[in-house]
């Protein structure tokens, strides 16, 4: 079976919030993907959607939005809010682990959220309403607010170009300039730094220590995240004709944004192309 047979047809009307349905041959373990742009910056604070897509491969978030736009627990087990809405306590679920083998602790979350809020407008609004963000224990993240902030979970769950990605405290506490290049998250895929070829290739390998949520319904960004491939390769091909040729020949599996003029010929070649799909949240090769 050629790689192109992995993909079901998708039309330009598919919204950016949808991920393509990947049909795998039993022996296939690698997905080859052509992003819409080169992944020049790896840092989650880089305000580019191609970086956001990379971030959602490697990192995880406390909460994630479902198809109704409601935040659902992701790294979080749940939360409590006091009666006046000014104290939020978010508990972390068991088994969370970073790619370097260290456990995810609440102090990592606190440092990560503070870093994210230096660049994100929603995060800045949240921190402006926050008197103290702390880690009273290894599993509890506590917001003490100056005033109620009902959209707190929406802020940390949103999958826009600046995601509230959780990373180890040692990385989150580094200066925001120069840009972060060491990628250690707790998501379904590890970034393989020694196989990166800037401007040409990025590699992600399935993280064996990742444990998807045990419950929940797959919906938009929320629900259990299951990695369907052992490895995902991002291959930069700026020329549309080269992309189409690679997709037609089965050299790649998915071209994110093929030139619309080429779609008829790709379909005539029975090449199932994923058109205008933004691989949000779950990451390439991750099924929610």
Provide the 3-class DSSP secondary structure of residue 170: helix
Residues 6+ apart with CB under 8 A from 121: none
User: In which band, very low, low, confident or very high, does the pLDDT at 287 lie, cut at 50, 70 and 90?
Assistant: low
pLDDT digits (tens, 9 = 90+) for 81-132: 998 999 999 999 999 999 999 999 999 999 999 999 999 999 999 999 999 9
Is the preceding peptide bond at 15 cis, omega within 30 degrees of 0?
A: no
pLDDT for the residue 95: 93
Q: What percent of the chain has pLDDT over 90?
A: 71
Contact 229, 206 (CB under 8 A): yes
Ranges 111-115, 132-136, 241-245: which has the least confidence: 241-245
Q: What domains does the chain contain, in order, with CATH numbers?
A: 3-287 (3.40.190.10)
Ranges 125-134, 146-155, 257-266: which has the least confidence: 257-266
Q: How far apart are CA 17 and CA 227, in angstroms?
A: 18
How many residues would you count in the chain? 288
Ramachandran area for residue 203 (φ above 0: left; ψ -120 to 50: alpha; else beta)? beta
pLDDT digits (tens, 9 = 90+) for 17-32: 233 444 444 455 999 9
CA dihedral 33, 190, 44, 62 (to 10 degrees): 110
User: In which band, very low, low, confident or very high, does the pLDDT at 257 lie, cut at 50, 70 and 90?
Assistant: confident
Per-residue three-class SS string for 192-259: CHHHCECCCEEEEEECCCCCCCCCCCCECCECCCEECCCEEEEECCCCHHHHHHHHHHCCCCEECCCC
The total of other beta-carbon atoms located within 10 Å of residue 5's CB is 16
pLDDT for the residue 16: 24
Q: How far apart are CA 80 and CA 86, in angstroms?
A: 11
Token pair of 86, please?
A: 């000014």
Buried-exposed string 99-137: b where 16+ CB fall within 10 A, e elsewhere: beeeebbbbbbbbbbebbbeebebbeebbebbeebebee
Token pair of 34, please?
A: 């052509």
Give 81's DSSP letter.
E
Token pair of 119, please?
A: 């660049």
pLDDT for the residue 286: 60
Ramachandran area for residue 187 (φ above 0: left; ψ -120 to 50: alpha; else beta)? beta
Q: How far apart are CA 204 and CA 156, in angstroms?
A: 24
pLDDT for the residue 264: 79
Residues 6+ apart with CB under 8 A from 252: 3, 32, 33, 34, 235, 237, 243, 246
Tokens 């083998």 label which residue? 101
């Amino acid at each position: 079976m050629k790689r192109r047979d992995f993909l079901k047809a998708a039309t330009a009307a598919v919204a950016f919030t949808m991920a393509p349905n990947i049909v795998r041959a039993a022996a296939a373990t690698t997905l080859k993907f052509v992003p819409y742009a080169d992944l020049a910056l790896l840092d989650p604070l880089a305000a580019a959607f191609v970086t956001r897509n990379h971030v959602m491969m490697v990192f995880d978030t406390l909460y994630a939005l479902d198809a109704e736009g409601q935040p659902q627990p992701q790294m979080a087990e749940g939360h409590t809010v006091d009666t006046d809405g000014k104290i939020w306590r978010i508990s972390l679920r068991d088994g969370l682990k970073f790619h370097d083998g260290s456990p995810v602790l609440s102090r990592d979350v606190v440092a990560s959220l503070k870093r994210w809020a230096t660049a994100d407008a929603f995060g800045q609004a949240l921190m402006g309403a926050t008197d103290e963000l702390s880690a009273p224990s290894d599993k509890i993240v506590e917001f003490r607010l100056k005033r109620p902030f009902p959209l707190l979970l929406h802020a940390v769950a949103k999958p826009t170009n600046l995601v509230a990605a959780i990373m180890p405290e040692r990385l989150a506490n580094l200066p925001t300039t120069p840009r972060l290049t060491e990628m250690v998250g707790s998501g379904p895929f590890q970034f393989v730094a020694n196989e990166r070829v800037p401007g040409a290739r990025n590699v992600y390998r399935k993280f064996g220590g990742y444990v998807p949520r045990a419950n929940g319904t797959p919906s938009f960004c929320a629900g259990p995240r299951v990695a369907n491939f052992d490895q995902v390769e991002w291959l930069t091909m700026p020329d549309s004709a080269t992309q189409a040729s690679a997709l037609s020949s089965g050299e790649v599996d998915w071209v994110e944004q093929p030139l619309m003029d080429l779609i008829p010929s790709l379909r005539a070649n029975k090449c199932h192309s994923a058109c205008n799909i933004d691989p949000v949240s779950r990451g390439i090769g991750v099924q929610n």
